[in-house]
Amino acid sequence: MNLNLTTKKIDVEIEIILVTKNSKKIKNDKEILKSLNFKGEDEESALLPELGKLYVGCETDDSDNIRIAIATAIKTLNKTNFKSASIKCKDNLSAYIDGFELGNYKFDKYKSKQEELTQEDKNIYIIVDNIDKKIQKEFEESISICESVNMTRDFVNTPPDDFYPSIMAKEAIKIAQENELECKILDEDYLEQNNMGAMLAVGRASRHRSKLIHLTYKPSGKIKAKKKIVLVGKGLTYDSGGLSLKPSDFMVSMKSDKSGGCAVLGVMNTISTLNLPIEVHGIVGAVENMIGGDAYKPDDVLTAKNGKTIEIRNTDAEGRLVLADCLCYAQDEIKDIDYILDFATLTGACVVGVGQYTSGIMGNNSQLNHKIIKSASNSGELTTTLPFNRYLKKTLKSEIADICNISNTRYGGAITAGMFLDNFIKDENKQKWVHIDIAGPAFVESSWGYNPHGASGAGVRMAIEFIKDI
Ligand code: BES
Ligand code: ZN
Ligand code: ZN
Protein backbone atom coordinates (compact mmCIF):
# COMPACT_ATOMS: atom_id res chain seq x y z
CA MET A 1 0.00 0.00 0.00
CA ASN A 2 1.28 3.43 -0.95
CA LEU A 3 -0.13 6.47 0.79
CA ASN A 4 -0.14 9.70 -1.20
CA LEU A 5 -1.08 13.20 -0.14
CA THR A 6 -2.83 15.36 -2.73
CA THR A 7 -5.03 18.42 -3.13
CA LYS A 8 -6.47 17.37 -6.48
CA LYS A 9 -9.37 15.08 -7.11
CA ILE A 10 -7.70 11.97 -8.51
CA ASP A 11 -9.32 9.48 -10.83
CA VAL A 12 -9.52 6.33 -8.69
CA GLU A 13 -11.54 3.12 -8.68
CA ILE A 14 -12.96 3.57 -5.20
CA GLU A 15 -13.89 6.61 -3.18
CA ILE A 16 -13.89 5.94 0.55
CA ILE A 17 -16.61 7.81 2.43
CA LEU A 18 -16.73 7.91 6.23
CA VAL A 19 -20.24 8.37 7.51
CA THR A 20 -21.71 8.93 10.92
CA LYS A 21 -25.22 7.69 11.70
CA ASN A 22 -27.87 9.72 9.79
CA SER A 23 -25.13 11.41 7.78
CA LYS A 24 -26.22 13.58 4.86
CA LYS A 25 -23.35 12.20 2.82
CA ILE A 26 -25.36 9.11 1.96
CA LYS A 27 -28.37 10.92 0.53
CA ASN A 28 -27.97 9.67 -3.09
CA ASP A 29 -27.30 6.11 -2.01
CA LYS A 30 -29.78 5.95 0.86
CA GLU A 31 -31.95 3.26 -0.67
CA ILE A 32 -29.17 0.93 -1.72
CA LEU A 33 -27.42 1.29 1.66
CA LYS A 34 -30.71 0.56 3.37
CA SER A 35 -31.09 -2.59 1.32
CA LEU A 36 -27.59 -3.61 2.42
CA ASN A 37 -28.67 -2.95 6.01
CA PHE A 38 -25.79 -0.47 6.41
CA LYS A 39 -26.33 1.61 9.53
CA GLY A 40 -23.08 3.54 9.74
CA GLU A 41 -21.92 1.85 12.90
CA ASP A 42 -18.32 1.28 13.96
CA GLU A 43 -16.41 -1.33 11.96
CA GLU A 44 -19.23 -1.52 9.40
CA SER A 45 -18.63 -1.05 5.69
CA ALA A 46 -20.58 -1.25 2.44
CA LEU A 47 -18.78 -1.56 -0.87
CA LEU A 48 -20.70 -0.40 -3.94
CA PRO A 49 -18.35 -1.44 -6.77
CA GLU A 50 -20.57 -0.24 -9.64
CA LEU A 51 -20.67 3.23 -8.11
CA GLY A 52 -17.00 3.17 -7.13
CA LYS A 53 -17.82 3.89 -3.49
CA LEU A 54 -16.93 2.36 -0.17
CA TYR A 55 -19.03 3.60 2.74
CA VAL A 56 -17.57 3.08 6.20
CA GLY A 57 -19.25 3.68 9.54
CA CYS A 58 -17.52 6.19 11.82
CA GLU A 59 -19.55 6.97 14.92
CA THR A 60 -17.94 10.37 15.66
CA ASP A 61 -15.07 12.38 14.22
CA ASP A 62 -12.93 11.59 17.27
CA SER A 63 -9.41 10.36 16.39
CA ASP A 64 -9.88 6.81 17.55
CA ASN A 65 -13.13 6.39 15.61
CA ILE A 66 -11.33 7.66 12.51
CA ARG A 67 -8.45 5.19 13.03
CA ILE A 68 -10.88 2.29 13.41
CA ALA A 69 -13.02 3.36 10.42
CA ILE A 70 -9.99 3.76 8.14
CA ALA A 71 -8.66 0.38 9.27
CA THR A 72 -12.05 -1.10 8.39
CA ALA A 73 -11.82 0.53 4.95
CA ILE A 74 -8.37 -0.79 4.13
CA LYS A 75 -9.26 -4.28 5.38
CA THR A 76 -12.32 -4.25 3.10
CA LEU A 77 -10.24 -3.05 0.15
CA ASN A 78 -7.65 -5.72 0.80
CA LYS A 79 -10.29 -8.35 0.10
CA THR A 80 -10.72 -6.92 -3.41
CA ASN A 81 -8.55 -6.45 -6.49
CA PHE A 82 -9.08 -2.69 -6.63
CA LYS A 83 -5.77 -0.92 -6.92
CA SER A 84 -6.62 2.71 -6.20
CA ALA A 85 -8.76 4.56 -3.73
CA SER A 86 -9.12 8.06 -2.33
CA ILE A 87 -10.53 9.69 0.76
CA LYS A 88 -11.18 13.31 1.69
CA CYS A 89 -9.53 14.53 4.89
CA LYS A 90 -10.54 17.86 6.43
CA ASP A 91 -8.69 17.52 9.71
CA ASN A 92 -6.73 15.06 11.85
CA LEU A 93 -4.52 13.70 9.08
CA SER A 94 -2.39 11.62 11.46
CA ALA A 95 -5.43 9.58 12.57
CA TYR A 96 -6.13 8.72 8.91
CA ILE A 97 -2.54 7.59 8.45
CA ASP A 98 -2.63 5.53 11.66
CA GLY A 99 -5.78 3.83 10.38
CA PHE A 100 -4.25 2.96 7.01
CA GLU A 101 -0.78 1.97 8.17
CA LEU A 102 -1.70 0.14 11.38
CA GLY A 103 -4.92 -1.35 9.98
CA ASN A 104 -3.09 -2.71 6.93
CA TYR A 105 -0.52 -4.62 9.03
CA LYS A 106 -0.17 -8.35 8.47
CA PHE A 107 2.31 -10.85 9.86
CA ASP A 108 2.38 -13.64 7.27
CA LYS A 109 6.10 -14.34 7.06
CA TYR A 110 5.60 -17.82 8.47
CA LYS A 111 2.82 -18.85 6.07
CA SER A 112 4.24 -21.13 3.41
CA LYS A 113 1.82 -19.63 0.88
CA GLN A 114 1.46 -15.88 0.94
CA GLU A 115 -2.00 -14.59 0.04
CA GLU A 116 -2.25 -13.84 -3.66
CA LEU A 117 -3.39 -10.25 -3.46
CA THR A 118 -0.42 -7.99 -3.25
CA GLN A 119 -1.22 -5.08 -1.03
CA GLU A 120 1.95 -3.31 -2.07
CA ASP A 121 0.55 -2.08 -5.33
CA LYS A 122 -2.52 -0.40 -3.85
CA ASN A 123 -2.42 3.37 -4.20
CA ILE A 124 -4.33 5.39 -1.65
CA TYR A 125 -4.79 9.14 -2.11
CA ILE A 126 -5.60 11.31 0.89
CA ILE A 127 -7.18 14.50 -0.42
CA VAL A 128 -6.57 17.57 1.74
CA ASP A 129 -7.51 21.23 1.13
CA ASN A 130 -3.93 22.42 0.82
CA ILE A 131 -0.46 21.06 1.43
CA ASP A 132 1.72 23.39 3.43
CA LYS A 133 4.93 22.58 5.31
CA LYS A 134 3.00 21.67 8.47
CA ILE A 135 0.74 19.17 6.70
CA GLN A 136 3.65 17.67 4.79
CA LYS A 137 5.55 17.25 8.07
CA GLU A 138 2.54 15.67 9.81
CA PHE A 139 2.18 13.28 6.86
CA GLU A 140 5.84 12.19 6.87
CA GLU A 141 6.14 11.97 10.64
CA SER A 142 2.97 9.93 11.03
CA ILE A 143 4.10 7.46 8.39
CA SER A 144 7.49 7.14 10.06
CA ILE A 145 5.91 6.53 13.48
CA CYS A 146 3.54 3.90 12.05
CA GLU A 147 6.42 2.16 10.30
CA SER A 148 8.20 1.95 13.64
CA VAL A 149 5.07 0.58 15.34
CA ASN A 150 4.87 -2.06 12.60
CA MET A 151 8.56 -2.84 12.97
CA THR A 152 7.99 -3.33 16.71
CA ARG A 153 5.04 -5.60 15.89
CA ASP A 154 7.24 -7.66 13.54
CA PHE A 155 9.92 -8.07 16.21
CA VAL A 156 7.45 -9.13 18.90
CA ASN A 157 5.58 -11.51 16.57
CA THR A 158 8.77 -13.29 15.53
CA PRO A 159 9.03 -16.72 17.23
CA PRO A 160 11.52 -17.04 20.09
CA ASP A 161 13.84 -19.37 18.22
CA ASP A 162 14.27 -16.70 15.54
CA PHE A 163 14.44 -13.71 17.88
CA TYR A 164 16.72 -14.17 20.89
CA PRO A 165 18.99 -11.69 22.66
CA SER A 166 21.79 -11.60 20.07
CA ILE A 167 19.25 -11.16 17.26
CA MET A 168 17.66 -8.32 19.20
CA ALA A 169 21.14 -6.78 19.50
CA LYS A 170 21.67 -7.18 15.75
CA GLU A 171 18.40 -5.38 15.06
CA ALA A 172 19.49 -2.59 17.40
CA ILE A 173 22.79 -2.23 15.52
CA LYS A 174 20.85 -2.01 12.25
CA ILE A 175 18.56 0.68 13.67
CA ALA A 176 21.61 2.60 14.92
CA GLN A 177 23.31 2.44 11.52
CA GLU A 178 20.21 3.55 9.65
CA ASN A 179 19.52 6.44 12.01
CA GLU A 180 23.03 7.53 12.99
CA LEU A 181 22.63 6.59 16.64
CA GLU A 182 25.35 5.56 19.05
CA CYS A 183 25.07 1.88 19.91
CA LYS A 184 26.62 -0.21 22.67
CA ILE A 185 26.01 -3.94 22.99
CA LEU A 186 27.16 -5.19 26.38
CA ASP A 187 27.57 -8.91 27.01
CA GLU A 188 27.56 -11.17 30.07
CA ASP A 189 31.21 -10.37 30.87
CA TYR A 190 30.21 -6.75 31.22
CA LEU A 191 27.24 -7.69 33.43
CA GLU A 192 29.51 -9.77 35.62
CA GLN A 193 32.23 -7.14 35.90
CA ASN A 194 29.61 -4.54 36.79
CA ASN A 195 27.85 -6.60 39.46
CA MET A 196 24.57 -6.90 37.57
CA GLY A 197 23.78 -10.16 39.35
CA ALA A 198 20.00 -9.90 39.00
CA MET A 199 19.88 -9.62 35.20
CA LEU A 200 22.68 -12.15 34.86
CA ALA A 201 20.89 -14.83 36.91
CA VAL A 202 17.68 -14.68 34.86
CA GLY A 203 19.46 -15.61 31.62
CA ARG A 204 21.73 -18.25 33.08
CA ALA A 205 19.85 -21.38 32.00
CA SER A 206 19.34 -20.20 28.43
CA ARG A 207 21.54 -21.29 25.53
CA HIS A 208 21.34 -17.68 24.37
CA ARG A 209 23.67 -15.20 26.07
CA SER A 210 22.01 -12.12 27.54
CA LYS A 211 22.67 -8.70 26.01
CA LEU A 212 22.29 -5.20 27.32
CA ILE A 213 21.52 -2.86 24.44
CA HIS A 214 22.14 0.88 24.75
CA LEU A 215 21.22 3.22 21.88
CA THR A 216 21.70 6.99 22.07
CA TYR A 217 20.24 9.76 19.95
CA LYS A 218 21.87 13.16 20.20
CA PRO A 219 20.55 16.08 18.15
CA SER A 220 22.85 16.78 15.22
CA GLY A 221 24.90 19.83 14.29
CA LYS A 222 24.48 23.03 16.26
CA ILE A 223 21.26 21.99 17.98
CA LYS A 224 21.91 21.52 21.68
CA ALA A 225 19.86 19.03 23.65
CA LYS A 226 17.52 20.82 26.07
CA LYS A 227 16.35 17.67 27.85
CA LYS A 228 17.59 14.17 28.46
CA ILE A 229 15.19 11.25 28.45
CA VAL A 230 15.93 7.59 29.12
CA LEU A 231 13.71 4.73 27.94
CA VAL A 232 14.28 1.30 29.45
CA GLY A 233 12.60 -1.83 28.06
CA LYS A 234 12.04 -5.37 29.32
CA GLY A 235 13.32 -7.59 26.52
CA LEU A 236 12.51 -11.13 27.65
CA THR A 237 12.74 -12.89 24.30
CA TYR A 238 11.03 -15.82 26.03
CA ASP A 239 9.57 -16.21 29.48
CA SER A 240 8.98 -19.88 30.35
CA GLY A 241 8.73 -18.83 33.98
CA GLY A 242 12.03 -20.56 34.78
CA LEU A 243 11.96 -23.19 37.55
CA SER A 244 8.69 -21.65 38.78
CA LEU A 245 7.49 -22.92 35.40
CA LYS A 246 4.41 -21.42 33.81
CA PRO A 247 1.43 -23.75 33.20
CA SER A 248 1.30 -24.60 29.46
CA ASP A 249 -1.67 -22.37 28.70
CA PHE A 250 0.06 -19.38 30.25
CA MET A 251 3.34 -19.98 28.44
CA VAL A 252 1.81 -19.63 24.97
CA SER A 253 2.38 -16.07 23.70
CA MET A 254 5.34 -15.45 26.03
CA LYS A 255 7.42 -14.56 22.97
CA SER A 256 5.67 -11.25 23.57
CA ASP A 257 7.57 -10.71 26.82
CA LYS A 258 10.08 -8.70 24.80
CA SER A 259 7.42 -6.10 23.91
CA GLY A 260 8.79 -3.37 26.19
CA GLY A 261 12.28 -3.73 24.74
CA CYS A 262 10.92 -3.87 21.18
CA ALA A 263 8.86 -0.72 21.85
CA VAL A 264 12.04 1.06 22.96
CA LEU A 265 13.73 -0.04 19.71
CA GLY A 266 10.69 1.23 17.80
CA VAL A 267 10.97 4.67 19.39
CA MET A 268 14.71 4.82 18.68
CA ASN A 269 13.99 3.97 15.05
CA THR A 270 11.87 7.10 14.62
CA ILE A 271 13.44 9.62 16.95
CA SER A 272 16.01 11.01 14.51
CA THR A 273 13.36 11.78 11.88
CA LEU A 274 11.61 14.07 14.38
CA ASN A 275 14.58 16.47 14.68
CA LEU A 276 13.95 17.31 18.33
CA PRO A 277 16.42 19.10 20.64
CA ILE A 278 16.29 16.17 23.06
CA GLU A 279 18.86 13.52 23.93
CA VAL A 280 17.18 10.12 24.01
CA HIS A 281 18.66 6.92 25.40
CA GLY A 282 17.12 3.52 24.70
CA ILE A 283 18.21 0.70 27.00
CA VAL A 284 17.01 -2.87 26.59
CA GLY A 285 17.69 -5.91 28.76
CA ALA A 286 17.54 -8.80 26.28
CA VAL A 287 17.33 -12.10 28.16
CA GLU A 288 15.67 -15.53 27.88
CA ASN A 289 14.15 -17.06 31.04
CA MET A 290 14.53 -20.85 30.82
CA ILE A 291 14.88 -23.98 32.92
CA GLY A 292 17.89 -26.29 33.30
CA GLY A 293 20.60 -27.40 35.68
CA ASP A 294 22.08 -23.94 35.60
CA ALA A 295 18.82 -22.11 36.25
CA TYR A 296 18.49 -19.60 39.08
CA LYS A 297 16.25 -20.87 41.84
CA PRO A 298 13.60 -19.87 44.32
CA ASP A 299 15.60 -19.38 47.56
CA ASP A 300 18.60 -17.87 45.75
CA VAL A 301 19.69 -14.43 46.90
CA LEU A 302 20.90 -12.16 44.09
CA THR A 303 22.74 -8.87 44.30
CA ALA A 304 21.75 -6.10 41.90
CA LYS A 305 24.06 -3.42 40.49
CA ASN A 306 23.18 -0.96 43.28
CA GLY A 307 24.21 -3.51 45.93
CA LYS A 308 20.68 -4.41 47.05
CA THR A 309 20.12 -8.10 47.81
CA ILE A 310 17.02 -9.83 46.46
CA GLU A 311 15.50 -13.03 47.84
CA ILE A 312 14.05 -15.02 44.93
CA ARG A 313 10.74 -16.63 45.79
CA ASN A 314 9.46 -17.02 42.24
CA THR A 315 11.62 -17.21 39.12
CA ASP A 316 8.66 -16.14 36.99
CA ALA A 317 8.91 -12.65 38.46
CA GLU A 318 12.03 -12.20 36.31
CA GLY A 319 11.25 -9.02 34.37
CA ARG A 320 11.67 -6.85 37.47
CA LEU A 321 15.13 -8.40 38.06
CA VAL A 322 16.28 -7.56 34.54
CA LEU A 323 14.78 -4.07 34.80
CA ALA A 324 16.36 -3.49 38.23
CA ASP A 325 19.85 -3.84 36.80
CA CYS A 326 19.02 -1.96 33.61
CA LEU A 327 17.59 0.93 35.63
CA CYS A 328 20.74 0.99 37.80
CA TYR A 329 22.91 0.90 34.67
CA ALA A 330 20.98 3.82 33.15
CA GLN A 331 21.32 5.98 36.26
CA ASP A 332 25.02 5.17 36.72
CA GLU A 333 25.95 5.78 33.10
CA ILE A 334 23.76 8.77 32.23
CA LYS A 335 24.06 11.98 34.22
CA ASP A 336 21.41 14.68 34.71
CA ILE A 337 18.46 12.68 33.50
CA ASP A 338 15.20 14.63 33.08
CA TYR A 339 12.88 11.68 32.59
CA ILE A 340 13.28 7.94 32.94
CA LEU A 341 10.47 5.73 31.60
CA ASP A 342 10.40 1.96 31.64
CA PHE A 343 8.18 -0.21 29.45
CA ALA A 344 7.48 -3.81 30.40
CA THR A 345 5.03 -6.67 30.07
CA LEU A 346 5.57 -7.01 33.80
CA THR A 347 2.53 -8.60 35.41
CA GLY A 348 -0.54 -10.66 34.64
CA ALA A 349 -2.08 -8.77 37.57
CA CYS A 350 -2.07 -5.58 35.51
CA VAL A 351 -4.18 -7.28 32.84
CA VAL A 352 -6.56 -8.64 35.48
CA GLY A 353 -6.82 -5.22 37.10
CA VAL A 354 -7.36 -2.89 34.16
CA GLY A 355 -8.17 -5.19 31.23
CA GLN A 356 -6.26 -6.20 28.13
CA TYR A 357 -6.61 -2.88 26.30
CA THR A 358 -5.00 -0.62 28.88
CA SER A 359 -1.47 -0.07 30.21
CA GLY A 360 -0.85 0.65 33.90
CA ILE A 361 1.08 3.81 34.75
CA MET A 362 2.98 3.89 38.04
CA GLY A 363 5.51 6.11 39.78
CA ASN A 364 6.11 8.58 42.59
CA ASN A 365 5.15 11.71 40.66
CA SER A 366 1.44 11.80 39.99
CA GLN A 367 1.73 14.91 37.83
CA LEU A 368 4.22 13.14 35.58
CA ASN A 369 2.03 10.01 35.54
CA HIS A 370 -0.83 12.14 34.27
CA LYS A 371 1.37 13.71 31.60
CA ILE A 372 2.05 10.22 30.28
CA ILE A 373 -1.66 9.40 30.33
CA LYS A 374 -2.36 12.53 28.29
CA SER A 375 0.37 11.77 25.72
CA ALA A 376 -0.86 8.19 25.48
CA SER A 377 -4.44 9.27 24.90
CA ASN A 378 -3.43 11.81 22.23
CA SER A 379 -1.50 9.08 20.46
CA GLY A 380 -4.36 6.55 20.55
CA GLU A 381 -3.18 4.37 23.45
CA LEU A 382 -5.19 3.60 26.58
CA THR A 383 -3.60 3.96 30.02
CA THR A 384 -4.58 4.44 33.63
CA THR A 385 -2.73 5.11 36.90
CA LEU A 386 -2.20 2.51 39.58
CA PRO A 387 -1.20 4.33 42.76
CA PHE A 388 1.58 3.19 45.10
CA ASN A 389 0.93 3.02 48.85
CA ARG A 390 2.90 2.36 52.03
CA TYR A 391 1.07 -0.87 52.95
CA LEU A 392 1.75 -2.66 49.67
CA LYS A 393 5.36 -1.56 49.95
CA LYS A 394 5.73 -3.59 53.17
CA THR A 395 4.57 -6.77 51.44
CA LEU A 396 7.93 -6.99 49.61
CA LYS A 397 9.91 -7.36 52.86
CA SER A 398 12.33 -10.28 53.10
CA GLU A 399 13.44 -12.06 56.27
CA ILE A 400 16.91 -12.74 54.90
CA ALA A 401 17.66 -10.19 52.16
CA ASP A 402 16.90 -6.51 51.49
CA ILE A 403 13.80 -7.31 49.51
CA CYS A 404 11.80 -10.21 47.98
CA ASN A 405 11.16 -10.46 44.27
CA ILE A 406 7.46 -11.14 44.92
CA SER A 407 5.05 -9.77 47.48
CA ASN A 408 3.47 -11.79 50.29
CA THR A 409 -0.08 -10.92 49.25
CA ARG A 410 -2.17 -12.18 46.34
CA TYR A 411 -3.51 -8.71 45.69
CA GLY A 412 -2.16 -5.61 43.95
CA GLY A 413 0.47 -7.51 41.94
CA ALA A 414 0.96 -4.82 39.30
CA ILE A 415 1.59 -2.17 41.97
CA THR A 416 3.92 -4.32 44.07
CA ALA A 417 5.97 -5.05 40.92
CA GLY A 418 6.19 -1.29 40.31
CA MET A 419 7.16 -0.71 43.94
CA PHE A 420 9.86 -3.37 43.63
CA LEU A 421 11.39 -1.34 40.78
CA ASP A 422 11.28 1.80 42.92
CA ASN A 423 14.03 0.20 45.05
CA PHE A 424 16.39 0.64 42.12
CA ILE A 425 15.62 4.29 41.46
CA LYS A 426 18.06 6.78 43.00
CA ASP A 427 16.64 9.45 45.30
CA GLU A 428 17.44 12.22 42.82
CA ASN A 429 15.44 10.41 40.14
CA LYS A 430 12.40 9.36 42.18
CA GLN A 431 10.23 12.14 40.76
CA LYS A 432 11.52 11.65 37.21
CA TRP A 433 10.66 7.99 36.80
CA VAL A 434 7.51 6.36 35.40
CA HIS A 435 6.88 2.62 35.09
CA ILE A 436 4.53 1.53 32.30
CA ASP A 437 3.13 -2.01 32.50
CA ILE A 438 2.04 -2.89 28.94
CA ALA A 439 1.23 -6.56 29.72
CA GLY A 440 -2.40 -6.11 28.58
CA PRO A 441 -2.27 -4.33 25.23
CA ALA A 442 1.17 -5.51 24.03
CA PHE A 443 -0.16 -8.77 22.65
CA VAL A 444 -3.63 -9.05 21.14
CA GLU A 445 -5.28 -12.46 21.49
CA SER A 446 -8.42 -11.56 19.54
CA SER A 447 -8.27 -8.51 17.32
CA TRP A 448 -9.64 -5.15 18.51
CA GLY A 449 -9.82 -1.73 16.88
CA TYR A 450 -7.05 -1.51 14.30
CA ASN A 451 -4.97 -4.24 15.97
CA PRO A 452 -4.99 -7.68 14.36
CA HIS A 453 -4.09 -10.80 16.38
CA GLY A 454 -0.54 -10.57 17.69
CA ALA A 455 1.69 -7.72 18.74
CA SER A 456 0.17 -4.23 18.87
CA GLY A 457 3.32 -2.14 19.23
CA ALA A 458 2.03 -0.77 22.55
CA GLY A 459 4.22 1.94 24.06
CA VAL A 460 5.78 3.27 20.86
CA ARG A 461 3.21 5.94 20.03
CA MET A 462 2.74 7.08 23.63
CA ALA A 463 6.51 7.44 24.17
CA ILE A 464 6.98 9.42 20.95
CA GLU A 465 4.05 11.69 21.79
CA PHE A 466 5.48 12.27 25.27
CA ILE A 467 8.91 13.13 23.85
CA LYS A 468 7.34 15.49 21.30
CA ASP A 469 5.33 17.16 24.11
CA ILE A 470 8.36 17.85 26.33
N1 BES B 1 5.84 -11.86 31.67
C2 BES B 1 5.06 -12.09 32.81
C3 BES B 1 3.85 -11.16 32.91
C4 BES B 1 2.79 -11.32 31.86
C5 BES B 1 1.70 -12.13 32.09
C6 BES B 1 2.83 -10.60 30.70
C7 BES B 1 0.70 -12.24 31.14
C8 BES B 1 1.85 -10.71 29.73
C9 BES B 1 0.78 -11.53 29.96
C10 BES B 1 5.89 -11.90 34.08
O11 BES B 1 7.23 -12.17 33.96
C12 BES B 1 5.31 -12.81 35.09
O13 BES B 1 5.33 -13.98 34.86
N14 BES B 1 4.80 -12.26 36.18
C15 BES B 1 4.20 -13.03 37.20
C16 BES B 1 4.58 -12.43 38.52
C17 BES B 1 4.23 -13.27 39.69
C18 BES B 1 5.11 -14.52 39.73
C19 BES B 1 4.44 -12.47 40.94
C20 BES B 1 2.69 -12.99 36.99
O21 BES B 1 2.19 -11.95 36.57
O22 BES B 1 2.04 -13.98 37.22
ZN1 ZN C 1 7.67 -14.25 34.25
ZN1 ZN D 1 8.07 -11.97 32.05
Which of 347, 354, 435, 436 gets mutated to test ligand 1 (max ligand atoms within 8 A of its CB)? 347
Q: Which ligand is nearest to the CA of 316?
A: 2
pTM of the complete model beyond 0.95 = yes
Q: How would residue 20 be classed by pLDDT, with cut points 50, 70 and 90?
A: confident
Q: List Cα–Cα distances, 230 to 131, 227, 278, 333, 463, in angstroms.
A: 35, 10, 11, 11, 11
Ligand 1 center from residue 254 Cα (angstroms): 9
Task: Identify the pLDDT of residue 118.
Answer: 57
Name the closest-CA residue to atom 17, ligand 1.
Answer: 317
What's the pLDDT at 64?
96
Residue 374's contacts (CB-CB under 8 Å, 6 or more residues apart) are 469
Instruction: Confirm or reject: Cβ of 311 under 6 Å from ligand 1.
Output: no
Ligand 3 center–CA 438 separation, angstroms: 11
Cβ neighbours of residue 112 under 8 Å, at least 6 residues apart? none
| Pocket residue to mutate for ligand 1, from 258, 288, 321, 346, most atoms within 8 A of Cβ | 346
Catalytic hit among 53, 122, 320, 432 = 320
Evaluate: CB of 239 within 6 angstroms of ligand 1. yes
Assess whether pLDDT exceeds 80 at residue 120: no
d(CA 263, CA 378): 18
User: What is the rounded CA–CA span in Å between residue 459 and residue 382?
Assistant: 10
| Segment 126-180, tens digit of pLDDT | 999 999 999 999 999 999 999 999 999 999 999 999 999 999 999 999 999 999 9
- Contact partners, residue 447, CB within 8 Å, separation at least 6: 453
The pLDDT assigned to 388 comes to 98
How far does the centroid of ligand 3 lie from the alpha carbon of residue 236, in Å?
Answer: 6
CB 345 less than 6 A from any atom of ligand 1: yes
The arithmetic mean of pLDDT across residues 349-377, rounded, is 98
* Contact 314 CB / ligand 1 (< 6 Å): yes
Neighbour-count burial of 428, counting CB atoms closer than 10 A to its CB (0-12 exposed, 13-18 middle, 19+ buried): exposed
pLDDT at 421 over 60: yes
Q: Which atom of ligand 1 is nearest to the CA of 442?
A: 8
Between CA 54 and CA 39 the distance in angstroms is 14
CA of 9 to the centre of ligand 2 (A): 53
- 246 catalytic residue (yes or no): yes
CB 348 less than 6 A from any atom of ligand 1: yes
Question: If you take atom 7 of ligand 1, which residue's CA is the nearest one?
Answer: 348
Share of the chain above pLDDT 90, in %: 95
Q: What is the predicted pLDDT for the residue at 194?
A: 98
Of 246, 374, 426, 468, which one is the catalytic site residue? 246
pLDDT for position 2: 96
Residue 383 has pLDDT above 60, yes or no: yes
Taking residues 364-393, what's their average pLDDT?
98
Nearest Cα residue to atom 3 of ligand 1: 347
* Substitution site in 316, 350, 395 for ligand 1 pocket (most atoms within 8 Å of beta carbon): 316
pLDDT tens digits, one per residue of 238-247 = 999 999 999 9
Atom from ligand 1 closest to the CA of residue 236: 1
* pLDDT, tens only, 44-100: 999 999 999 999 999 999 999 999 999 999 999 999 999 999 999 999 999 999 999
- The mean of the pLDDT values for the chain is 97
**Residue 345 CA to ligand 3 centre (angstroms):** 6
User: What pLDDT is recorded for position 219?
Assistant: 96
- Catalytic site includes residue 320: yes
Ligand 1 neighbourhood includes 319 CB (under 6 angstroms): yes
Task: Give the per-residue pLDDT at 234.
Answer: 99
Q: Is 439 in the pocket of ligand 1 (CB under 6 A)?
A: yes
Q: Indicate if the pLDDT at residue 300 is higher than 60.
A: yes
Nearest CA to ligand 1 atom 16: 317
pLDDT, position 124: 98
Q: How far is the CA of 49 from the centre of ligand 3 (A)?
A: 48
- Percentage with pLDDT > 70 across the chain: 99
* C-alpha 42 to ligand 2 mean position (Å): 36
